[in-house]
A and B are shown apart, each in its own frame.
Chain A
Amino acid sequence: MSAGPHRGEESGITGEAIRDSNLEDLVACPSCDLLHRRRVLAEGEAARCARCGTVIETRKRGAVDAVILSSVAMAVLLVLALWAPFLSLSGAGVTQRMSLVDAGLALGDGALVPLSLLLIGLTVALPFLRALLHLWALLPPRLGFAALPGAPAAFRAAMNLRPWAMAEIFMIGVAVSVVKLAGLASVEAGPAIYALAGVVVVLAYENALLCRETVWRMVLGEETPEPETPTSDTPPATRETPA
């Protein structure tokens, strides 16, 4: 483990100073709680924790737009995934076509109800709900209107629901099911499978771009501080902004 060069001796802030300073100038690592002095990022920069390396804040052009657009895409794809045929199974002279809604309804008897609720809930309902919550919290402020009531709570809920939206895991489950059925019947993929595959891709895109701090600023209608004009000591080769 190399000695970290980022002790920040130059800052020399004492505990006293911290307690008296403006807390908005400081930021704690969400993973390990180490205090850092906040600093305005330039386009394309990411701030990492000096101790554990967690990304604290990023600044990417259009990060909020990306979340809004992928939420719209996700909602459309999920509606498709819900009602379009999902898999069709033919064997012994019978063909069965199934959509996720059918799956939910077909599992109507007794013990299967919780299972079908879990299936629809984790694969479709939760991702759909997250998309709606994102739009509720982000769309009005992005378009220049006042935030809707409950916007912070909506965005909080969307963030907390993230691990429970399991479309991608469901896709793997489908693949395993198809292999298991190989001996019994022939299985064909329907359009809903492709819609769900799209959901997985959109989700990954959104996760890659989502910066909590940036989005919170949009939700709460706070200004994103502009970086000062790049200082002359920055090597020009590493600057992204075109002249």
Chain B
Amino acid sequence: MSAARKDRLVQTDHPDGMTAREAGLAACTECGRLHRLGAETCSRCGARIRDQEVSLQPVWALLITGILAYIPANTWPMLITRTFGRAEPSTIIGGAIDLLSHGSYFVAAVVLVASVVIPIAKFVAIGWLAYAIRSGRVAGQHGRHRLHTVVEFIGRWSMIDVFVVAVLAALVQLGFLARIEPGPAAAPFALSVIFTMLAAQWLDARAIWQAAPAPEAGPAPSTGPAPKA
């Protein structure tokens, strides 16, 4: 224990390597208080106790909606620049290519990563996590748990391009000389980000661990405390 003390981290010891669920308990997702399974509201903070075995259907529905919204988000123009009465629509990728051609490689990379790489990686990641939960994969929980954390943390950053459009449109109103308007892709893009954020939130991290064996040679679930009150 003294080694753990040195960096001032303590690993609480855990009885038998059992999850709350296996012990017939459910933790409040809001304040953490444990309850016997079957409790509906938290006796401590009043929140509804969310069952971790919530169906994956909402996750799939939100994810698919996000993917569908992402298609027009990329094919329709995101920005329409009017200079001297000439309208110039540009898509997300077109805008990034424009930036590249002006030599702003770094900013172009930021836009591409935030608007293309992150959303697509997120679709794949959420789909994979949901699939792994459904099929009860036993190995690799650590990796998938980390993936879930990363997806939740990084998904919001896709909003960058929506903010760019809003700022440009608000700022550039120079009469007939130059005017920037948001294109029709702005709404589906924002919705795509919002839907996938919701999908990631709906995916309960605890479900990733459900099929996991207890650390080390903990009791097999079958010999665990099966009786339920």
Contact = CB atoms under 8 A, between A and B. Distances in A.
Interface of A: 1, 3-4, 6-8, 10-19, 23-24, 26-28, 30-39, 41, 44-52, 56, 87, 89, 91-92, 94, 96, 98, 102-103, 106-107, 111-112, 114-116, 118-119, 122-123, 152-153, 155-156, 159, 163-164, 166, 169-170, 172-177, 179-185, 187, 212-213, 216, 219-220, 234-235, 238, 240
Contact of A48 (B9, B165, B206): B9
B182 interface: yes
Given A18-B225, A33-B27, A115-B166, A92 B16 contact: no
B145 to A, nearest CB: 5
B45 A156 contact: yes
Given A36-B13, A112-B182, 9 more contacts: A8-B15, A28-B34, A48-B12, A98-B170, A112-B169, A122-B159, A182-B102, A212-B32, A238-B5
A56 to B, nearest CB: 7
Contacts of B166: 103, 107, 115-116, 118-119, 173
Given A13-B16, A111-B182, A169-B163, A33 B206 contact: yes
Contact of A19 (B12, B212, B218, B229): B229
A212 B28 CA distance: 12
Interface of B: 2, 5-6, 8-25, 27, 29-36, 44-47, 52, 95, 99, 102, 104, 107, 110-111, 114, 141-142, 145, 149, 152, 156-157, 159-175, 177-178, 181-182, 184, 186-187, 190, 197, 201, 205-206, 208-210, 212, 214-216, 218, 224-225, 227, 229
A172 to B, nearest CB: 5
A235 B4 CA distance: 12
B69 to A, nearest CB: 14
Given A30-B32, A180-B99, A212-B31, A92 B142 contact: no
Contact of B168 (A31, A114, A156, A181): A181
A58 B139 CA distance: 30
